């Protein structure tokens, strides 16, 4: 067995995580040299968070004539997309714009950022991404951040840092430049900024925390105002943010009012230290470990912020507007952190109706985080959780995830005001499909005329739960595959006891939409079976060549030579119409369609290219449907529903099944299921030609 070189593994890990750099420490003067070389290490929390997002990369695209920026940070590449956010590019763009304005000091840095949306719309995921991102960013060179601690290496301070203590860390991980007295800051900033070539300029804002202020003043008294000697007791060190270690990242969530008070936000007295320092008003005897204190230099997340008691809201208002909190028995203390809260729809409506909460509304920037209304983005959510890498021993049939996502999105769409437009068509338009008489401008108007689209409907969590139930049930029944019907049955049965839907009329509406999805799925699998049956490449080419020969003769008013009899005959009108009718070319339009085909072939010939039926999507579809009609009876698909299948028919069915597996992603079980189901449709005579 090969020997594990543990030291080498450790060195590689340290190199990847920047641990060597993260352990940097030095004097205050050495820190000033770092600031001169790279003033961006003094950025405030908003600037750092905005830069963190931008530095991960951006992509710009046009969504129905509207430019949208996609921020790659929210793809969560660092964790292989574990918390990736899909379909919320517009909402995230609004969030990043707020952070940008705050980083430039335009006023939003004095606001609480409130993520508002229905349950399961990714509000918590966005906060989790930002918190994890800050932790990782603080380990990188671009995201370097520093703090300080008081030291008594020579034993000169006679217990100032604590009984028998030689070290007193800054309790709130403060910026070292706050040690520069107020009256000196302008000169220091001018001196540093004068030598800078980039656009960033340092700005020293805020005051020391009460313990650091107490120690600073005591040292100034001891050394007769000699600032250099005072700062000789300061050791600056690299700061790595960590929610687990409660450094720079805080989280606060409401609990029972009897078991929670404001000290959880602003800290409390350390009664053991009172005996050491002699007074409960000594800042060294106070634990600055409230969530506001902990989150200094980073961010604090308020879970369900509007459920907070009014007493907490006063602290929240001061922290946002003034960037200060009021610990018990101490002066207001400066903080530098991004405050993000999130809430759901009922809680936000209560805020709007409560006149006593007007001050909070005025200090809030609301960003709507709706449900996804684009089908392909909803699909991506479920494919992240339900795929072959995560689901072992059972397969998920093609279209299973897609049909569940289709239903989820349709429940969130408002009924179209246009009488000739269904929700399913609206879903397809939003997804980028073109429909007759609908332009991109029409789709934009559809979006604008909605009022609550995406703020109501079925949560992704419900879909995930029901897909999970279908998978577990299939495993228990030793069934190797989960298909869309099994998931749709779970979705339907779960509505009966859905905890968030009490309205029976709404449940009935959602069940109707499930019926629409079932019908759409039937059309999809009928189409796939049709294409699998008619996927004989040579037969399609022969049929196409025959059609083109007849169309050429028709448009040029010539006769066609019959390859079998050798006689010249009139163009086969019956053959041409049997193909054209498959794509609903009316009798009155047949001449125009045939001329279009010949003009297209002629244009290709001028470019030295040869026509292939696959180049024209409509003709391709018509040929496949025609070939399917011709071959359906010879394959005897309906015999699948009987118990007796002759050898010749079975061989043909096996060929179709192989094509379903190869071309459409089915496995043996799901291909058999689909063939049996489509066969039962044909056995009922329920065939609908598009």
Q: Tens digits of per-residue pLDDT, 158-179?
A: 889 888 789 999 999 999 999 9
pLDDT at 601: 86
Return the HEC string of 409-436.
HHHHCCCCCCCCCCHHHHHHHHCCCCCC
Mean pLDDT of 5-19: 57
pLDDT of residue 196: 82
Confidence of residue 21 (pLDDT cuts 50, 70, 90): low
CA-based torsion, 50, 51, 53, 58: positive or negative = positive
Which distant-in-sequence residues (6+ apart) come within 8 Å of 169 by Cβ? 147, 149, 150
pLDDT at residue 13 tops 60: no
pLDDT of residue 382: 93
Using the predicted structure, report yes or no on whether residue 9 has a pLDDT greater than 60.
Answer: no
Predicted confidence at residue 223, as pLDDT, reads 93
pLDDT at 6: 57
For the segment 233-282, what is each residue's pLDDT rounded down to a tens digit? 999 999 999 999 999 999 998 876 666 777 889 999 888 888 888 888 88
Query: Is 505's pLDDT higher than 80?
Result: yes
Tell me how far apart the alpha carbons of residues 291 and 297 are, in angstroms, rounded to a whole number: 12
Give residue 419's pLDDT.
Answer: 75
Q: Provide the pLDDT for residue 202.
A: 92
Evaluate the CA torsion angle 674, 675, 676, 680 in order and state its sign. Answer: positive
Q: Minimum mean pLDDT among 142-146, 485-489, 613-617, 639-643: which range? A: 639-643
What's this model's pTM, rounded to 2 decimal places? Answer: 0.85
Nearest to 53 by CA among 101, 7, 93, 1: 93
Find which of 371-385, 524-538, 580-594 is predicted with most confidence, using mean pLDDT.
371-385
389 against 138, higher pLDDT = 138
Report DSSP letters for 460-473, one per residue.
HHHHHHHHHHHHHH
Place of tokens 């040029």: 556
Q: Find all residues with CB under 8 Å of 291, minimum gap 6, and list them.
A: 250, 251, 252, 264, 265, 300
Token couple for 582? 């498959």
| Residue 619 to residue 615: CA distance in whole angstroms | 8
Average pLDDT, stretch 146-151? 96
Q: Minimum mean pLDDT among 332-336, 366-370, 617-621, 649-653: which range?
A: 649-653
pLDDT at 424: 94
DSSP 624: H
User: Quick one: average pLDDT of 477-498?
Assistant: 90
Own/partner long-range contacts of 15-22 (Cβ < 8 Å, ≥24 apart)? 17/139, 18/139, 18/140, 18/141, 19/139, 21/141, 21/144, 21/238, 22/139, 22/238, 22/240
**Eight-state DSSP code of residue 68:** E
Per the CB < 8 A criterion, the answer to whether 455 and 368 are in contact is yes
pLDDT digits (tens, 9 = 90+) for 658-684: 888 998 889 888 888 888 888 777 766
Q: What is the mean pLDDT of residues 545-571?
A: 83
DSSP state of 130: H
The pLDDT, as a whole number, for residue 530 is: 81
pLDDT > 70 in the chain, percent: 92
Per the CB < 8 A criterion, the answer to whether 347 and 361 are in contact is no
State mean pLDDT over 130-143. 95
pLDDT tens digits along 383-430: 988 877 777 778 899 999 999 999 999 999 999 888 788 999 999 999
* pLDDT > 80? residue 353: no
**Is residue 140's pLDDT more than 70?**
yes
Per-residue burial over 118-155, b if 16 or more Cβ lie within 10 Å, else e, is: bebbbbbbbbbbbbbbbbbbbbeeebbbbbbbbbbeee
- Give the span between the Cα atoms of 362 and 383, in whole angstroms: 40
> Can you read off the two tokens belonging to residue 119?
């349950």
pLDDT at 331 over 80: yes
Distance between CA atoms of 498 and 2, rounded to whole angstroms? Answer: 55
Name the phi and psi angles at 58, rounded to 5: -135, 160
Assigned token pair, 225: 């105002």
Complete DSSP assignment for 205-260: -----HHHHHHHHHHHHHTTT-HHHHHTTEEEEE---BTTTTBSEEEE----GGG-
Strands 299-302 and 249-252: parallel
Q: Is the pLDDT of residue 356 over 80?
A: no
CA 309/CA 301 separation, integer angstroms: 16
- Residue 530 in contact with residue 635, Cβ under 8 Å? no
CA–CA gap between residue 552 and residue 601 (Å, rounded): 10
Q: At what angle do helices 573-580 and 590-606 cross, to 10 degrees?
A: 90
What pLDDT sits at residue 531? Answer: 81
Tell me, what's the pLDDT at 235? 96
> How far apart are alpha carbons 139 and 20 in whole angstroms?
10
**pLDDT computed for residue 324 by the predictor:** 93
Evaluate if residue 19 carries a pLDDT over 70. no
Residue-wise burial string across 527-537, b where 16 or more C-beta atoms lie within 10 A, e elsewhere = bbbbbbbbbee
Arithmetic mean of pLDDT over the chain: 87
Among the listed ranges 83-92, 369-378, 608-617, which one has the minimum average pLDDT value?
608-617
Q: Is the distance from CB of 386 to CB of 471 less than 8 angstroms?
A: yes
Over 80: is that where the pLDDT of 113 sits?
A: yes
Report the range of poorest mean pLDDT among 431-445, 451-465, 626-640. 626-640
The pLDDT-based confidence of 10 (bands split at 50, 70, 90) is low
pLDDT band at 43 (very low <50, low <70, confident <90, very high): very high
Highest-pLDDT range among 134-143, 444-453, 521-530? 134-143
């Amino acid at each position: 067995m090969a020997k594990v070189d543990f030291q080498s593994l450790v060195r590689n890990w340290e190199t990847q995580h920047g641990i060597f750099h993260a352990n940097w420490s030095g004097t205050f003067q050495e820190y000033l040299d770092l600031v001169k070389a790279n003033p961006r290490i003094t950025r405030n929390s908003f600037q750092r968070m905005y830069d963190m997002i931008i530095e991960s990369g951006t992509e710009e695209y046009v969504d129905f004539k509207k430019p949208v920026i996609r921020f790659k940070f929210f793809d969560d590449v660092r964790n292989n997309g574990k918390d990736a956010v899909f379909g919320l590019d517009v909402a995230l763009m609004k969030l990043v714009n707020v952070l940008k304005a705050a980083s430039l000091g335009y006023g939003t840095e004095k606001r609480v950022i409130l993520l508002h949306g229905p349950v399961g719309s990714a509000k918590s995921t966005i906060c989790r991404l930002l918190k994890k991102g800050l932790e990782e960013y603080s380990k990188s060179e671009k995201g370097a951040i520093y703090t300080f601690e008081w030291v008594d290496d020579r034993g000169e301070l006679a217990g100032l840092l604590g009984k028998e203590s030689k070290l007193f860390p800054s309790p709130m991980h403060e910026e070292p430049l706050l040690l520069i007295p107020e009256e000196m800051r302008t000169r220091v900033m001018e001196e540093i900024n004068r030598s800078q070539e980039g656009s960033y300029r340092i700005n020293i804002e805020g005051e020391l925390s009460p313990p650091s202020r107490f120690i600073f003043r005591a040292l100034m008294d001891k050394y007769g105002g000699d600032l250099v000697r005072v700062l000789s007791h300061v050791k600056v060190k690299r700061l790595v943010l960590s929610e687990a270690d409660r450094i720079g990242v805080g989280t606060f969530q409401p609990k029972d009012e009897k078991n929670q008070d404001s000290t959880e936000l602003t800290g409390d007295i350390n009664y053991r230290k009172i005996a050491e320092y002699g007074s409960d008003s000594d800042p060294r005897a106070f634990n600055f470990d409230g969530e506001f204190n902990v989150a200094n230099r980073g961010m604090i997340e308020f879970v369900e912020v509007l459920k907070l008691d009014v007493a907490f809201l006063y602290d929240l208002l001061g922290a946002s507007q003034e960037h200060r909190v009021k610990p018990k028995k101490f002066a207001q203390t400066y903080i530098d952190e991004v405050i993000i809260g999130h809430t759901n729809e009922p809680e936000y409506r209560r805020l709007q109706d409560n006149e006593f909460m007007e001050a909070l509304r005025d200090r809030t920037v609301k960003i709507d985080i709706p449900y996804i209304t684009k089908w392909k983005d909803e699909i991506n959510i479920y494919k992240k959780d339900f795929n072959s890498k995560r689901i072992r021993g059972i397969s998920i049939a093609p279209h299973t995830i897609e049909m569940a996502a289709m239903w989820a999105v349709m429940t969130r769409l408002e009924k179209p005001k246009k009488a000739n437009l269904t929700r399913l068509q609206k879903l397809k338009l939003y997804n980028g499909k073109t429909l007759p008489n609908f332009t991109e401008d029409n789709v934009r108007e559809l979006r604008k005329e909605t009022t609550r689209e995406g703020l109501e409907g079925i949560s992704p969590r419900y879909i995930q739960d029901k897909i999970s139930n279908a998978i577990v049930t299939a495993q228990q029944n030793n069934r190797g595959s989960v298909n869309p019907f099994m998931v749709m049955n779970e979705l339907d049965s779960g509505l009966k006891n859905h905890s968030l839907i009490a309205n029976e009329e709404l449940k009935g509406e959602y069940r109707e939409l499930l019926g629409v999805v079932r019908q759409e799925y039937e059309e999809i699998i009928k189409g796939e079976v049709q294409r699998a049956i008619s996927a004989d490449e040579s037969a399609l080419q022969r049929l196409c060549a025959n059609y083109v020969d007849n169309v050429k003769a028709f448009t040029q008013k010539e006769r066609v030579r019959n390859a079998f009899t050798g006689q010249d005959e009139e163009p086969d009108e019956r053959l041409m119409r049997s193909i054209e009718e498959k794509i609903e070319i009316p009798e009155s339009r047949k001449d125009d369609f045939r001329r279009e085909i010949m003009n297209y072939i002629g244009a290709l010939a001028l470019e030295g290219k040869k026509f292939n039926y696959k180049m024209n999507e409509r003709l391709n579809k018509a040929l496949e449907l025609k070939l399917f009609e011709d071959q359906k009876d010879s394959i005897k698909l309906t015999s699948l529903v009987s118990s007796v299948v002759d050898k010749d028919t079975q061989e043909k069915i096996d060929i179709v099944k192989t094509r379903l597996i190869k071309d459409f992603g089915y496995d043996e079980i799901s291909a058999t299921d689909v063939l049996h189901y489509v066969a039962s449709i044909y056995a009922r005579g329920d065939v609908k030609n598009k």
